[in-house]
Amino acid sequence: MFVKICGITNEDDALVAVAMGADAIGFLLAPSSRQIAPVRAGDIAKRIPTSVLTVGVFRNESRDQVVRTVNRQGLSAAQLHGWESPEDTMWISERIPRVIKAFVAGSDEVRRANDWGTNPILVDAVKGGSGETWDWALASETPDDLSVMVAGGLRPSNVADAVRQVKPWGVDVSSGVERSPGQKDALAIRDFVANARAAAADFEA
């Protein structure tokens, strides 16, 4: 079970997420209460083990800027969380190590996610980053051959239910493991990771 802790704003939280078993950490480079400067994200990423994915999250940024930022700051992936076209997404994918395309649950786009050429994909609520939950049954509308990450309203108390229902490849959380916007809670991260992986063990065995 791949676990991404998103909305990282400082080095201490990044290192805690890694220590608690996160496979990836995410930096919000788009407008948000958790937005940080690309240079700051790059500085934090340099202190993270190479085995952990460092993901810059963009929303409707120009494709040139996405590629420039990821490569200049030494990030290992971009997550595209806007209305990026299949053509721009594939153009970006050819120029950086990895791309994760995000889709809105229940949308027409998520049903034809293969057109964007990324794997895994992420399925989120209508208002990405809002902490709102959605009908997890909609995850079944994704193409069968894609690895799916789910996000939106996840927290330690419900991530096991989401994992058992959706059987995703991975889960992504931001506000669900925070004390306040942009400030993570170490115990919440620990419980989130443990609960997600324990639930996944039921169907991965």
Q: Which residues are catalytic?
A: 6, 124
First to last CA, the chain: 12
Per DSSP, the three-state class of 90 is helix
Kindly list the distances between the CA atom of residue 149 and the CA atoms of 52, 123, 166, 197, in Å, as whole numbers in the listed order: 16, 6, 10, 14
**Cβ within 8 Å of residue 114, ≥6 positions away:** 143, 145, 146
**Cβ within 8 Å of residue 47, ≥6 positions away:** 11, 14, 15
